[in-house]
Structure 1
Amino acid sequence: MRTYIMFLLYFTTLSTTVALALSLSSMTDKRALLSLKVKLTNGEPESLPSWNESLHFCEWEGVTCGRRHMRVTILHLENQNWGGTLEPALGNLTFLRKLKFSNINLHGEIPREVGRLKRLQVLDLSKNKFQGKIPIELSNCTNLKEIILLYNQLTGNVPSWFDSMTQLNKLLLGANNLVGNFSTHLNWLSMAGNQIYGGMPERIGQLIGLTRFDMMENFLEGTIPDSIGRLTNLVRLVLQENKLSGKIPIVIGNLTNLSEFYLHTNKLEGSIPSTLRYCTKLQSFGASDNNLSGDIPDQTFGYIEDLINLDLSNNSLIGPLPYEFGNLKHLSILYLHENKLSGEIPSELGACMALRELVLGGNFFQGSIPLFLASSLRSLEILDLSSNNFTSVIPRELENLPSLNSLNLSFNNLYGEVPVRGVFGNVSAISLIGNSDLCGGIPQLKLPTCSRLLPKKHTRLPKKKFVPIIVIGGIFISVIAFIGIYFLGKKTKKSFSLASLQNGHMEVTYQDLHEATNGFSLSNLVGAGSFGSVYKGSLLKFKGTIVVKVLKLETRGALKSFVAECKVLEKMKHKNLLKLLTFCSSVDYNGEVFKAIVFEFMPMGNLENLLHNNEHLESRNLNINLRQRLSIALDVAQALDYLHHNSHQVVVHCDIKPSNVLLDDDIVAYLGDFGLARFLHGATASSSKDQVSSSAIQGTIGYVPPEYGVGGKVSPQGDIYSYGILLLEMLTAKRPTDNMFGEGLSLHKLCKTAIPQKITEIADSQLLIPFSEEQIGIMEDQREILLSFARIGVACSAEYPAQRMSIKDVITELHAIKQKLSL
């Protein structure tokens, strides 16, 4: 009996001790969570409302506890805009196995106390604003399998101690500012959007476990090492947007598990290796914007029967299109534009019945537009045959393609009647400029009416009668021609027939523009850019001064820029878009191809000069005041609203900046330079092309939205970001690339931190009314207007697209500010 009582007392004491220990441990977790809440949410009482005393902490939002010990094992909170920091008390959650704080706008450094989480297996702090180095204490978390720190502002070296983390198989560090080496135990490595310099080391071949390897948008140089052929488990290989040179290594053929392979925007040269045929699981291959040459190899792509996307655009590939492309039954997207391919489009391509986007512009293809494009490729949504040498009528069968929403046949030698049904019934969906012998079509095309000749009877004449008829006919035509010339000579030289129009624009020759600009003299030069030079001049055919933008066709992408600009300006008509007068596609006096666009002259130049070129201002005694800057901002916003919402097709400008905002004598603003513009297709304003093409868009440093830098899709929100930077530049008269910016300070951050107390400290001095006792009220009103202007600019240039202000809200706000300024 005594023994039983002693055992009972011992068991009771032990149970009480265990219960007390568990209770104390639970209290530790609860206190840690409450400390976390304060820092995470910046003390906002309405955030995380379930984190209170009325519920057990294991029932709080985003918290998961283990059943046995009731300790926190998972913390999962994402997609908030709290803007707080990570509390060191996190280190007290010692049972934590998964920590996911993604996209909740956290800043500061990752606390060293995270190293106390010895059970941690998954760490995801992506899409925040963490700064500083990756803490070395994290190496204590030896059970980590996944580290995801994408889209932050981390700096320093990629830690060498990652090598010691034998459990680590996923390391995603892209879109930071890191430099350094790699771990050998990984199967998923993403370092996209960092500052990785130098060559790819031979020892990259040691990462034999890799299945995904993404080094997009870094500064890698030199050649792709042959050791990459050892990574036979690779499924996805992304090396685009670096400075890699040399040839694509033939050992690529060893990567037989490869599904996605991207080499866009490097300096690669040589031919496409035929060993690519062994990558039979390849579904998407892109090597656009390189210096690849030679033929597209035979007996290569025909073996890759699962291929869905193929992009070899913007290279120097020559020769015909391989007939074996007909084997690619799953091919959906084929981009071969801006090369030197020739010959006719092979009929075998008609077997690619899954094709949705076929873009062959900017080559030397010839012959007739093949009928199989309409009869076999019934899924086509985008067809671009522009800037080739096709000579034929436009097949009427193209009317019957049910999904075709973009057709570009510009700059060929097409003739005859333009159809009117199907895609041809939408003027914003087709481009036919540069084909001077077309007629008919819908009225909006403004083409000449087709002459309706009676059907000819195919009657044979005897040879003896045939010769006299020719002679008589020739004499008759000569007489008629003489009479016509006599009477036409009496008419004014300003009379032009409908036949002199190109799709509704007055035809001008190289000689016309040469004379108009004094031989394109330096005295007439008013500006120059990457794709061309701009000259001032005058033509009798147009009233007033004109400007002529002459394309530098030797520059890669210049022809594409020319076609894009003509296409946009031909279709988009708005009071705040620069007006296209005409264009010229001809040859110069040396027999070289010549292309130019003619615009109205803007006497006040561009916004860039007015904001920054002091000599220009002083010579004309001109400064733009706050009222004028508001009007300019409103003009540009209305132009963007039209491009994004009110036109028949969504257009993204892709290069909003002060030098592309032109001003007339009344300081009315016009948006110009559409050389990088993109049409978006479909109800969602995106297409497969749009989703993968932002990597090819250069834009202008300082104005390019951050998502384009990491391969994000082109979108109207990208224009909004650039517009926001434009507003902040108008407010401060500081360029986003000013020397004062860097080391964590940007134009956006400068303005954001100046709201509201320091707004007058950052504003352009030209916008501030001199202080005096009589003007205290005026000064305060003006300060409020500057604040409102700054808030719009900051809201538009938010880091994430979803957080940016809509252009319609911008217009509403600017109207309100302008009205307040008028009071």
Structure 2
Amino acid sequence: MALSAVFPVFYLAILLYCQCRSPAPVGESASLSILTDKEALTAFKSLIATDPSNSLSSWEQHSSPCNWTGVICSKSRQRVVGLSLGDLGVTGSITPHIGNLSFLRFLYLQNNKLAGTLPDRIGDLSRLQAVNISSNLIEGPIPPNISKCSEHMHLDLMGNQISGGIPPELGTLSKLQILNLNENKLSGTIPPSIGNLSSLTTLNLATNSLGGFIPSDLARLQNLKKLELSINTLTGIVPQHLYNISSLVYFALASNRLWGKIPSDVGNRLPNLLNINFCINNFTGGIPGSLHNLTKIKSIRMSWNLLGGSVPGGLENLRDLEMYNIGFNRIVSSGDSGLSFITSLSNSSHLQFLALDGNLLEGRIPRDIGNLSTTLTKLYLGGNRIYGNLPPSIGRLRGLALLNVSHNLISGEVPNEIGQLDQLQMLGLAGNKLSGQIPDSLGNLSKLNELELFGNEMVGRIPATFGNYHRLLSMDLSNNRLTGSIPKEIFMHSSLSSLLNLSKNFLSGPIPQEVGMLENIVKIDLSRNNMSGSIPDSIGDCKSLEYLLLAKNLFSGHIPATLEKIRGLNTLDLSSNQLSGSIPYDLQKLQVLQDLNLSFNNLEGEVPTDGVTTVVWTIAGSIALCLVLGLFLSILFYRRRNAKTVASAPEILLKVQHQMVSYDELRTATGNFSQENLIGRGSFGSVYRGVLRQGVIVGVKVLDVRTKGALKSFIAECNALRNVRHRNLVKLITCCSSIDSKNMEFQALVYEFMENGSLEDWIRGRRKHEGEGGGLNVVKRLNVAIDVASAMDYLHHDCQPAVLHCDLKPSNVLLDDEMNAKVGDFGLATLMVETSTQQHSTTTTYDLKGSIGYIPPEYGIGVKPSPRGDVYSYGVMLLELFTGKSPTHEFNGDMSLTKWVQSMFLVNTKEVVDPELLLQLKMDGVHHAGQPLSPKIQQALVSILGIGLSCAIDSPELRMNMRDILHKLKSIKDTLIN
């Protein structure tokens, strides 16, 4: 049972005992005193808005408050010493009059819906020893004068919306044993004064926004049993003396930005440790083998770090182990017996969770893996280099709810014994070399809700037994060699609500009419098969469908008019089939539709021109329709009904209103696109300096239409920029879609001209010694970083829909004549569509977006573009701006830019920063060769590089958003200048 659950009853008993033995003070009027308490309680009730259980109905004026529900009085003094109103579900706020309960010893208001702030007068309760106001809606700061409650032993404010910093004054509560501020909105740093709480046994500050370093003063808490600092933005190296608090039982620092090595002897220094959670940080070194000597330890969690080496021996000692999670590190093993350490866990009879995924483990799964505990519910082995067969003994792990061995090199057939795992809810076997047929026995997994078999070499038919799944949410059998028709039974369960992906197989036959029973499905992908017949009208009953992909099959007949009933449809791809007839006019009613591909069919008639908001690709067999579509493709995309198109009336102007310019005008403006006016080349074309007839100097981006992706880039850039306006975005003046002098298609975008070129030129190129003083000093670089952050903050947080750049790097940041930085080149940009439950991009291909070195790691495994991806690219660029080294620079060993900066920026900042920047500091007279940096410059550079590292962390969930980044950089600038 949790301590917070038993504490009120135990503590109440002691308080009543003490109060019964305490004599009344001389001269005190008991009747007058109880009247004061009664008035305070009446004021408390007056601010209670609702009381669902009617618990306060006994609070009547004619009776003594000592008889009221939840009110505890001392017998000798008849004064209110306790208020216990937890778990009543009351709403309202806490009255300041509570400060009049001068004899109050404990206050329990947990698990209600109280709002407002904590009254300052709580500090008047000098006798107060225990407060539990957890799980309410309290906001605002913690009153600093709560420190006046010098008898305090228990303070629990978790699960509220309390903001501001932790008052340093709390450090004066020398008797405090429990401090729980978990799950609030606290910011700032952890006050070193907390280290003065010598009686503290529990310190829980998790799930806030606390930053900075962990104070070394916490090492003085030698009575501490529970230290929980997870899910904050703490940074730096963990103070070594913190590992010397031998009383620690629970030690959690997960989901921060901490780095350094975990001491190899941590298990010897923390002999009472039962739970350690260091997940989602940047810890290096190896797994401390001394942890395996703690025979009573229950949970070891080290996932999502940079730990290397092998799994230490001694796992057979951990008989009480319940969780062992070292996933997503760099743990290695080799040879056939590389995974033999797994069998050492057979002694752990309470094991429930084992995660080894996302490492560099090599070897065969032990044949006797089935000897692991029958209590094991989750087994993660995916994302390694495991080969060989799946052992049949795995079927003995009857408690498994999750089995994931995806993305390895496992071969052979799927053993029938997996069908014995009757508690299984998720089965992941994807991305291996599995062959043979899918066993019918998998249909016995009646509790399954997610099935992933994609990316293997499975053959044969889809088992009809899959119709036994009554809880299945997602099924992905794509990219195999499956044949035959799709069993109609698969479509007969409405539970299938997330994904049905059978693409890239050799399936044949029609889509069963029963498809309409999938009324909750979000995505159906049957593309790249040999399916035939007509698309059933019942598809219109899939009312939750957002993605319908049927491309590259042999479907014939008409496009079902019932598709117009699927009002949430985002993407419809029916390309490369044998569909005929006209395009249903009612498709224009699909106001959410973003991508419609009907190309390579036998369609005829007119193309509906309303409703669809992006590219519509349609190619039909008639010459007349081809002429219509030729014109259509030159315009490229539609706006909604009555909206203006980019081609006919551009909305984004500089200072002079330009209509769509002609090819001849651009040829004249650029001197026939001469080499003298060439100012840059990109992936999809070239940029020229030009002068329009009005004398406006512009940059002309000419697309190479023969380059794959150029047309898509043109569309993306127009979509991204047609409605955005910000001082730190390069302004699009107009565009040109025409025919050149060789009768070839010509596409160009016309931008404002940026006099000072790209940021890349100033970091490493021809301009790095230009400007006043030669090059960019600290303030100028910081200004550039702030300008870019300001632009990205606008795109992510102020645009509707949000705009993702997807290719943020120095060459795409341009500088005007006043050295203001502006973000340009939106050729890979993506718009975000926000739904009521999630954000997702409008792209459906999950193509890898970005440039090498700047691409966030999650894009490499098929994750959709997101704002956090731009943040990663920004972080890399920020490091590049202040170090002068690109992410593709060749560092020693397996170092990358982020690892190199991380390894030394705190201890040897001068070795990390750009030598040109040090030269600037010397020229500015604020630094001298051979001398350390001034404290102000040192702190500014450390803070900036720290932000860059925090942005460029591998885990997207841990990255800051652009708004927070902008605020932090502005704060650094203010401190630096002042």
TM range (shorter): 0.5 to 0.7
The CA deviation string for residues 71-113 of structure 1, in whole angstroms up to 9 with x for no partner, is 9997464647595846846458888776555558766543333
Q: State the AA in 2 paired with 1:46.
A: I
Q: State the AA in 2 paired with 1:734.
A: K
**Equivalences for 1:47-446 in 2 at 5 Å?**
52=200, 60-61=225-226, 75=250, 77=252, 79=254, 81=256, 83=258, 85=262, 88=265, 90=267, 102=279, 108-120=285-297, 122-127=299-304, 130-142=307-319, 144=321, 146-156=323-333, 159-166=339-346, 167=349, 170-183=353-366, 184-185=369-370, 188-193=378-383, 196-197=384-385, 200-205=387-392, 207-208=394-395, 209=397, 212-216=402-406, 220=408, 224-227=411-414, 231-232=418-419, 233=421, 235-238=425-428, 249-251=436-438, 254-256=441-443, 257=445, 259-262=449-452, 274-280=461-467, 281=469, 282-286=472-476, 301-302=490-491, 306-310=495-499, 312=501, 322-324=511-513, 326-334=515-523, 336=525, 346-355=536-545, 357-360=546-549, 371-374=561-564, 376-377=565-566, 380=568, 382-384=570-572, 392=583, 395=586, 398=589, 405=592, 407-409=594-596, 415=607, 418=610, 434=633, 441=640, 445-446=643-644
- Partner of 1:643 in structure 2? 795
Q: State the AA in 2 paired with 1:251.
A: I
**Equivalences for 1:602-751 in 2 at 5 Å?**
606-608=758-760, 610-613=762-765, 626=778, 628-662=780-814, 668-675=821-828, 677=830, 679-682=832-835, 686-687=839-840, 697=848, 699-705=850-856, 715-740=866-891, 743=894, 745-751=895-901
Q: Give 3-state SS (helix, strand or coil) of 2:839's partner.
A: coil
- 8 Å Cα contact 1:248/1:273 also seen in 2: no
Alpha-carbon distance, 1:47 to partner = 6.7
Q: State the AA in 2 paired with 1:645.
A: H
Whole-Å separation in 1 of the counterparts to 2:778 and 2:227: 48
The CA deviation string for residues 225-271 of structure 1, in whole angstroms up to 9 with x for no partner, is 3245653336534355x5x57x975326553235423366x5x689x
Does structure 1 residue 768 correspond to structure 2 residue 918? Answer: yes
- Partner of 2:168 in structure 1? none
Q: Give 3-state SS (helix, strand or coil) of 1:189's partner.
A: strand
The CA deviation string for residues 162-218 of structure 1, in whole angstroms up to 9 with x for no partner, is 12432456420224444444342366432345xx347x41355553347634345x5
CA spacing shift, 1:202–1:756, aligned 2, 3 Å:
closer
Alpha-carbon distance, 1:727 to partner = 0.2
- Partner of 1:17 in structure 2? none
CA spacing shift, 1:152–1:819, aligned 2, 3 Å:
same
The CA deviation string for residues 109-158 of structure 1, in whole angstroms up to 9 with x for no partner, is 43333233334454334345544432112233255454222344544555
Q: State the AA in 2 paired with 1:736.
A: P
Q: State the AA in 1 paired with 2:388.
A: P
**Equivalences for 1:592-611 in 2 at 5 Å?**
598=749, 600=751, 606-608=758-760, 610-611=762-763
Whole-Å separation in 2 of the counterparts to 1:644 and 1:177: 36
CA spacing shift, 1:564–1:684, aligned 2, 3 Å:
farther
Whole-Å separation in 1 of the counterparts to 2:476 and 2:670: 44
- Partner of 1:796 in structure 2? 951
Q: Give 3-state SS (helix, strand or coil) of 1:718's partner.
A: helix
Q: Give 3-state SS (helix, strand or coil) of 1:739's partner.
A: coil
Instruction: Out of 296-305 and 661-670, give the one that drifted further.
Output: 296-305
- 8 Å Cα contact 2:480/2:505 also seen in 1: yes
Q: Give 3-state SS (helix, strand or coil) of 2:916's partner.
A: helix
TM-score by length of 1: 0.65
CA RMSD of aligned residues (A): 5.9
- 8 Å Cα contact 1:48/1:61 also seen in 2: no
Whole-Å separation in 2 of the counterparts to 1:524 and 1:47: 63
- Partner of 1:20 in structure 2? none
- Partner of 1:758 in structure 2? 908
TM-score by length of 2: 0.56
- 8 Å Cα contact 1:286/1:311 also seen in 2: yes
CA spacing shift, 1:108–1:620, aligned 2, 3 Å:
closer
Q: Give 3-state SS (helix, strand or coil) of 1:225's partner.
A: strand
**Equivalences for 1:444-463 in 2 at 5 Å?**
445-447=643-645
Alpha-carbon distance, 1:647 to partner = 0.5
**Equivalences for 1:487-526 in 2 at 5 Å?**
506=660
Structure 1 unaligned spans of 5+? 1-33, 35-40, 64-70, 449-495
Q: State the AA in 1 paired with 2:523.
A: L
Alpha-carbon distance, 1:45 to partner = 6.5
Instruction: Out of 715-724 and 46-55, give the one that drifted further.
Output: 46-55
Q: Give 3-state SS (helix, strand or coil) of 1:275's partner.
A: coil
CA spacing shift, 1:44–1:653, aligned 2, 3 Å:
same
Q: State the AA in 2 paired with 1:729.
A: E
CA spacing shift, 1:86–1:385, aligned 2, 3 Å:
same
Whole-Å separation in 1 of the counterparts to 2:361 and 2:326: 11
Q: Give 3-state SS (helix, strand or coil) of 1:649's partner.
A: coil
Q: State the AA in 1 paired with 2:589.
A: L
Greater relative contact order (CA < 8 Å, ≥ 6 in sequence)? 1
Q: Give 3-state SS (helix, strand or coil) of 2:949's partner.
A: helix
- Partner of 2:12 in structure 1? none
CA spacing shift, 1:143–1:560, aligned 2, 3 Å:
farther
CA spacing shift, 1:770–1:608, aligned 2, 3 Å:
closer
Whole-Å separation in 1 of the counterparts to 2:794 and 2:852: 25
The CA deviation string for residues 646-705 of structure 1, in whole angstroms up to 9 with x for no partner, is 101123334433344355666543232442635142256525x79x98976454454344
Alpha-carbon distance, 1:765 to partner = 1.8
Number of residue pairs aligned between Structure 1 and Structure 2: 688
CA spacing shift, 1:589–1:224, aligned 2, 3 Å:
farther
Whole-Å separation in 2 of the counterparts to 1:46 and 1:577: 46
Q: State the AA in 2 paired with 1:358.
A: Y
CA spacing shift, 1:686–1:77, aligned 2, 3 Å:
same
Whole-Å separation in 1 of the counterparts to 2:509 and 2:679: 41
- 8 Å Cα contact 1:309/1:334 also seen in 2: yes
- 8 Å Cα contact 2:311/2:341 also seen in 1: no
Whole-Å separation in 2 of the counterparts to 1:577 and 1:519: 25
Alpha-carbon distance, 1:752 to partner = 4.2
Structure 2 unaligned spans of 5+? 1-176, 178-188, 204-220, 229-245, 600-604, 617-631, 653-657
Instruction: Out of 694-703 and 537-546, give the one that drifted further.
Output: 537-546
Whole-Å separation in 1 of the counterparts to 2:352 and 2:926: 64
- 8 Å Cα contact 1:320/1:344 also seen in 2: no
- 8 Å Cα contact 1:654/1:699 also seen in 2: yes
Q: Pick from 697, 700, 719: which aligns with 1:567?
A: 719
Whole-Å separation in 2 of the counterparts to 1:441 and 1:618: 49
Whole-Å separation in 2 of the counterparts to 1:539 and 1:771: 39
Q: Which has the higher helix share?
A: 1
